[in-house]
Amino acid sequence: MKSFFQRLLSIAASAIWLGICLFARNVNAEELNSPQIPQAVMTSLERSQIPKEAVSISVVEIEPSRTGKFLAKNVLDWRSDVAMNPASTMKLLTTLSGLDILGPQYRWRTNVYTDGVIRQGALKGNLYLQGTGDPKLIPEELVKMMKSLQGLGIQKIDGNLFFDRSAYASSVMEHNAIDGESLRAYNVPPDPLLYAFRTLAFQLGKSRTADFIDISYTPALSQLKIDNQLQLIDRSCDNWKNNIRFNLSPDSEGNTNQPLIAQFSGALPSTCRGVNYNVVALDANTFLTQGFAAAWELSGGSWVQPPLGKDGTVPLAARLLLQFEGINLADDVVDINKYSNNVMARQLLLTLALEKMGKPATTTNGQLVILSWLKKNGMDFPDLVIENGSGLSRNEAISASQMNQLLIAARNLSVGEIFYNSLPIAGTDGTMRNRLMTQLRKFLHLKKKPEVRMKTGSLADVRAISGYVVSKSGKMYAVTSFINHPNAWRGLEAHDQLLSWLLEDGPEPKHAR
């Protein structure tokens, strides 16, 4: 049974409480005296020259009721109704709604068609790949697709590749980086046939057997060679990228099977061990053509001629060879939330549009689907702005109070545990891997250890956290805090102080200000 939580209006100028449940709301007298910003957090903000007017915080304690539903009791409220830029914490709205609407076992489909025939192990005709936006069509998945094609009796292909991207509106596939860094992996635009995040991942490091530098890369491309002109230097590995020069030539635009040379020059410190250099340096068609061709060859297949990959819709006369299903949504959501994968979140938003409103999918339709889901679950977010669903935006906006409503609602949804487990764990993994390690060591002696499951967000001028804290006494808190200010990059300590405060169950009101 689905339920929702909704924040109530202020019942006094200095006291606000939040109680959200599908059937009942209860007010307790002790909830009327809610502390504001804890002293340690205020001190950190002052030290970082971040005014408290640039901060919003909402903390509520989540408690089970007699009916089995979860209720919420307000703990801390500071400007929680103000809509602010949430950065990547916006992914919580996209992933929670996606899990509940599509179901955790939802799988994207990549359809493979042909206009030819199979005879004596050879396919004489073209292959048409029609995508629906699988956000994790990675080399390991392409290996499975190749095996499935070979299972149809195909060993040789005499034809070209055509890519049908009609599932998305052309506008959502435009490459518009908000920071001008178009070659960075986090800025990859959506693509119904997105392969390996369209990112070449190079690994550089000193060889174990000699004084030279090994360079490897993934995914395999059929026409890519490496020109390694790097020199080893005796220096710390800090800021190693500053000494690296990279060039990919020739420009392959329009010729998807043209030989490519990835040239590395400059110097790499000998202390570096397996550092990664990721770059988005190829157009979508070239990357997919050479990736598909290489995967086919590595599986033992062959081509009569190297394929020329081109855009094209599936002809009416073409027949379906294979419907390939990717990784399930529950697993994809782990990557989206733990590692803050922008393009995966964007494609999930577009998938909601595609599944519920048909193609071509647009972000506007994805927003409409989410707004309908919010309304169905009793949540009204008048100030909500969704631009792409990933938080990689200067325009997206939501309030801390609204974000906590989502977190509380999740506890009453059937997908609540899957959603909870997808969040980064402080001191353990994802974007929280190196956070709160010192604070958490204090609780190693406890049989049931407290934990922090927290989605993080960062942009220039924005730092954000939203998630759950299980305190040393076993209480569960939903916490959201946004900092929108030029000094926001200094706000990590203030957010860690807030989380540490909750791990200890918070101070007495007299210690708050």
Are 50 and 69 in contact by the 8 Å Cβ rule? The answer is no
What are the angstrom distances between the C-alpha of 408 and each of 69, 372, 403? 10, 18, 9
Asked if the model's pLDDT at residue 193 lies above 60, the reply is yes
Q: Given this model, what pLDDT does residue 261 score?
A: 95
| C-beta neighbour count of 182 within 10 angstroms | 13
Segments making up each domain of the chain, as ranges: 1-86+397-503, 107-328
Average pLDDT, the chain: 90
- Listed in sequence order, the DSSP H helices in 72-128 are 91-102
Mean local confidence (pLDDT), 219-237: 94
Question: Does residue 8 register a pLDDT over 70?
Answer: no
% the chain with pLDDT above 70: 91
Q: 250 preceded by cis ω (within 30°)? A: yes
Q: What is the pLDDT of residue 289?
A: 97
- The Cα 111–Cα 499 span in angstroms is 46
Q: What is the 8-class DSSP label of residue 327? A: E
Q: Please choose, from the candidates 169, 105, 186, 183, the residue with its C-alpha nearest in 3D space to the C-alpha of residue 390.
A: 186
- pLDDT digits over 291-345, tens only? 999 999 999 999 999 999 999 999 999 999 999 999 999 999 999 999 999 999 9
pLDDT in tens, 425-444: 999 999 999 999 999 999 99
Q: How many CB atoms are closer than 10 A to CB 78? A: 20
Confidence (pLDDT) at 182:
81
Contact between 323 and 111 under an 8 Å Cβ cutoff? The reply is yes
Label residue 509 by pLDDT band (50, 70, 90).
very low
The DSSP secondary-structure symbol of 132 reads -
Return the amino acid letter for 368. L
Q: How confident is the model at residue 256 (pLDDT cuts 50, 70, 90)?
A: confident
What does the pLDDT look like over 352-410, one tens digit per residue? 999 999 999 999 999 999 999 999 999 999 999 999 999 999 999 999 999 999 999 99
The answer, yes or no, to whether residue 9 has pLDDT greater than 80, is no
